[in-house]
Structure 1
Amino acid sequence: MKKQLIIIGGIVIGILIILFIPETQSTAHLLSVKVKKGDFIAQVYSTGQLQTENSELIVLPKEMSSRNIDLYEIKVSHLVEEGTVVDSGGYVATLDHAAVEELRTKAQEELETALNAYEDAKIDTNLNLSILRDELLNGLVDLEEKQLILEQSIYESPAVKRKARLDVERSQRDLEQKQRNYKLKEKQDEYKVFRAWEKVKKRQQKVKDINELFKVLEVKAPKPGMVIYSYSQFGKKIKAGSSVSRWRPQIAELPDFSSMLSKTFINEIDISKVKVGQTVTVGVDAFPEKSFKGEVITVANIGQVIPNSDTKVFEVAIKLEGTDSDLRPAMTTSNIINTAHIRNTLSAPLECIFSNDSLSYAFVKAGKSDYRKQIIEPGISNENYIQLLAGVDEQDELLMNTPDGADKKPFDGIEIYKRLMHNRADSLTPVDTTN
């Protein structure tokens, strides 16, 4: 009997071990962390590039913008080394003389052709009008002869008189027609000569404009400063051999180093957090020991797609405080944008918060081996932590992994979920503006 009791007791203990040990292991082997209360700082990190807020642009000569010059882009044949400090009027670059010389030769040939056409038009006009004037003179003589015959037919028969009268009328109509033709032809020839002369003037102006352009193919600095070359339409730095077009005439710039910007791009997930006026800590890769205070001054309203990607980014400009003689345009920056600073609030690592389609929740330890599946109201987040607005208290211990059997565990805090859904519904309800 005693032996049977021992066996039965062993079986019971075995069953209890099977029932309770898995639940103990379900939380004992999982990582956990306590909810903490204090200041919560949300930040957005990005890389960028330095540029000056203000600069004097060095562009193609204004003579190239003339409508008479059929030159829409030109190569840079030579330029000073980037970073060269120049005086006002100092040499910066040379544009392609050969292209302009070829253009000038062609324009001079066109001018010569236009001058020849103008002379031909004048000769043709004189010849045509001379012939018409002879025809007019012959018409006058013919009319006088017919009138004389009519006068002499006074003693002739009525038929002869009628014929003489008809001859006079016919001569008068013929003369009037020739006079009209002469005036019309005179106007046509005048216009022909005028158009030929206008073409000559246009060709003369073109030659003049090209000669003026030829004089300014050496590009000079408009003011003293350090030469920093611009980027071409293909995103590459201007250099010897690069082409510069009328529509993108910038060759270089003389930056004002007293005011520097960090130009950066923020992804569409974080851009809603970034606002004008937020403070920024700016680091420069070239000087890792230095950091600068900055402020967001512009945030783009329209995003742009990164090449070969579906990702959209938004341009953000950050103005640095103060000046530093070591800073140069195009240096790479690291930017920490402070998007929020909340005092005396609860927070926990991001790994502690789980979510499904409609709610966020956490696994809160309850004793050594149990836990509850708690609905929470999340706030803002940063790279590592998330603000907790409701559902947990300070010093609550949250699991950082999903425990076994969690999908069968019921949710606690349904009232939080109902409140969140109610607030969300209110925000989507149209406002009645009929009253």
Structure 2
Amino acid sequence: MKKKYWIPISAIALILISWMMLGGDTDDSVMLTATPKNGEFVVDVTTTGELRAKNSVEIRGPQGGRDVRLFNLTIQRLIPEGTIVEKGDFVAELDRSEITGRLQDAMLELQQAQSQVTQVSLDSTLTLSQARDNLINLEYAVEERQIVLDQSKYESPAVQRQAEIDLDKARRQLEQEKKNYVTKVKQAEAQMSEVEADLQEEQNEVDKIRDLMQEFTVRAPANGMIIYRRMNNNSKVSEGSEISAWNPTVAELPDFSVMESVTYVNEVDVQKVSSGQNVVIGLDAIQNKTLTGNVTSVANIGEQRSGSNSKVYEVVIEINKSDSTLRPAMTTSNRIIVDELDDVMFVPLETIHVEDSTSFVFRQAGLSTVMQQVHLGLMNENEVVVHRGLSLDDVIYLSVPDDTAGVDRIYLEEAITSN
């Protein structure tokens, strides 16, 4: 055959082969393919977190609110967050209206206690004065009876005996009243002690409230930058917020030398995360900056956070090195490294198909397609390691071919798949 005929014949053959491989229908979609890759394979969990200082000094409001029945304290005034303060500088002012009412009530109780002390003192003075006068009168009565007895020696024995009896009665009455007087003195002392104790208690209450009122002006306990604490609804303390008497923390002064990223991992991925794992950390505020850290704690109990339909678990990541650009509340992207493999082969997850618990890929074999069993390893969000069944030169499909009825199946040896 002449050479001039080879060119059109070859072109026609290529067209026919292409038409057969594409199924003979120009309307069918082209099958997408991929080839295995080789290199480092990383399994990770990616989350968004927020920076905070690992150590900080708390700025607290009044400590004894519960002692005076104050359980919620309203913030009236705050300095701006991020303000650099020195020890003793003003930070916040709390609403004094409720504690002022407590002070007025306590002052009224104190006045009543003082009146009670005065009343008991007067009563005791009067009672003891009357008792002393009675003793003097009884002493005179004894003396009178003694005179009558002395003069009765000239009288009949009956008169003398009566005089003796009257003297004896007078003496015994005097002795009894002396004992009664001692008892009355002790009673008076006890009553005074009781009312004076009540008075001291009321005075202590007034002093306690006055001292507590001084703490309604919150001042910085040390030098640093003001960072207001987050409340239960995840909002920060602000003017009008209420702080609890059980936890009257208003703000904190963070120590920037050691920073942490606090993040939350969903219940599906939390099983992969454990203390000690390496983390690659990015900062939204500084795009080109990358930090490293380690997971230091993983919460045992999940929580429901706003904006999430599933339970999440708090994970704390400590930044390895101090950095002067880091500030609390900066948003971080955290890539927690769960596992790493060097020099392994891996393919996209879309290429893997499971049938009866056996993993397959659809691989090109010349002009046809075969269903190749594969032995898989670690998996991340996009790819999976292939230990057996493929080579780097293989071409595999990202989706299932339209017609798989006549596709040959190639299985791995049992000894390989059982490993």
Q: Aligning the two structures, in what range does the TM-score lie when normalised by the shorter sequence?
A: 0.7 to 0.9
- What is the deviation of 1:333? 1.0
CA distance in 2, matches of 1:407, 1:230: 66
Which residue matches 1:267?
266
- Structure 1 313/234 Cα, relative in aligned 2: closer, same or farther at 3 Å? closer
Once the two structures are superposed, what CA deviation does each residue of 1:234-258 show, in whole Å capped at 9, x if it has no partner?
3321122222222121111111122
The correspondence of residues 320-339 of structure 1 with structure 2, limited to 5 A, is 320-339=319-338
Q: Look up the match of 1:393.
A: 390
> Any idea what the Cα deviations from partners look like across 1:381-414, whole Å, max 9, x if unmatched?
222111224x423234433222334799878348
> Is 2:362–2:400's contact at 8 Å kept on the other side of the alignment?
no
- Check conservation: 1:68, 1:206, Cα contact below 8 A: no
**In 2: Cα distance, 1:187 partner to 1:399 partner:** 105
CA deviation string 1:287-319 (max 9, x = no partner) = 212222222222222222234754121211222
Give yes or no for contact 1:59–1:250 (8 Å, CA) kept in 2.
yes
> Partner of 1:289: helix, strand, or coil?
coil
Superposed CA offset, 1:210-244 (max 9, x none): 22223343222111111111123433211222222
Write the distance in 2 (CA, Å) between the matches of 1:207 and 1:219.
21
- Residues 1:22 and 1:281: Cα distance change in structure 2 (over 3 Å): closer
Query: How far apart in 1 are the matches of 2:22 and 2:271?
Result: 45
Counterpart secondary structure, 2:233: coil
Segment drifting more, 403-412 vs 231-240 = 403-412
CA, structure 1 residues 21+96, in 2 after alignment: closer, same or farther (shift >3 Å)?
closer
Q: Which residue of the partner structure matches residue 78 of structure 1?
A: 77
Aligned to 2:359: 361
- Structure 1 distance, partners of 2:22, 2:232, is 66
C-alpha distance in 1 between matches for 2:67 and 2:196? 16
For 2:50, what is the secondary structure of its paired residue? strand
| Cα distance in 2 between the residues matched to 1:39 and 1:123 | 96
Q: CA deviation at 1:342?
A: 0.5
How much does 1:187 deviate? 8.0
Shift of 1:324: 3.2
Residue of structure 1 equivalent to 2:15: none
Residue type at the aligned position of 2:45: V
Q: 1:209 and 1:33, CA in 2 relative to 1: closer, same or farther beyond 3 A?
A: same
CA contact under 8 A between 1:58 and 1:254: conserved in structure 2? yes
Q: Which moved more, 1:404-413 or 1:252-261?
A: 404-413
Distance 1:126 1:397 in 2: 113
* 1:88-237 aligned within 5 A: 88-121=87-120, 193-237=192-236
The residue identity in structure 2 corresponding to 1:277 is G
Select between 192-201 and 180-189 the one with higher mean Cα deviation. 180-189
Cα pair 1:261 1:320 within 8 Å, conserved: yes
* CA-CA distance at 1:347 after TM superposition: 1.3
| Other structure's SS at 1:115 match | helix
Counterpart code for 2:391: E
- The separation in 2 between residues aligned to 1:180 and 1:352, in whole angstroms, is 109
Structure 1 residue 122 displacement after superposition = 5.2
Instruction: Determine the structure 2 residue equivalent to 1:147.
Output: none
**Paired amino acid for 2:95:** D
Structure 2 counterpart of 1:387, which letter? V
The answer to whether the Cα contact below 8 Å between 1:37 and 1:394 also exists between their aligned partners in 2 is: no
Q: Is the 8 A contact 2:372 2:389 kept in 1?
A: no
- Secondary structure of the residue aligned to 1:258 is coil
Is 1:402 matched up with 2:407? no
Q: 1:349 to 1:290 in 2, by over 3 A?
A: same
The equivalent residue for 2:58 is 57
Distance 1:52 1:277, change over 3 A: same
Deviation at 1:268, TM superposition (A): 1.8
Contact 1:47 1:334 (8 Å CA) reproduced: yes
- Residue 292 in structure 1 maps to residue 295 in structure 2: no
Q: Which runs of 5+ in 1 are unaligned?
A: 1-19, 138-154, 157-171, 421-435
2: CA distance, partners of 1:71 / 1:188? 38
The alpha-carbon deviation at position 346 of structure 1 amounts to: 2.4
Distance 1:126 1:106 in 2: 30
Note if 1:419 corresponds to 2:418.
Answer: yes
Q: 1:262: how far off?
A: 1.2
Displacement after TM superposition at 1:51 (Å):
0.8
CA distance in 2 between counterparts of 1:331 and 1:407 reads 58
Q: Structure 1 CA distance, aligned partners of 2:98 and 2:360?
A: 72
Structure 1 residue 133 displacement after superposition: 10
Q: Find the counterpart in structure 1 of residue 144 from structure 2.
A: none
1:282–1:335: 8 Å Cα contact kept in structure 2? yes
Gap runs ≥5 in structure 2 = 1-19, 137-156, 159-171
CA distance in 2, matches of 1:33, 1:56: 56
Report the counterpart of residue 165 of structure 2 in structure 1.
none
Q: Does the aligned pair in 2 maintain the 1:280–1:295 contact within 8 Å? A: yes
The aligned residue for residue 275 of structure 2 is: 276
8 Å Cα contact 1:90-1:220 kept in structure 2 = yes
Report the counterpart of residue 379 of structure 1 in structure 2.
377
Distance 1:398 1:21, change over 3 A: closer
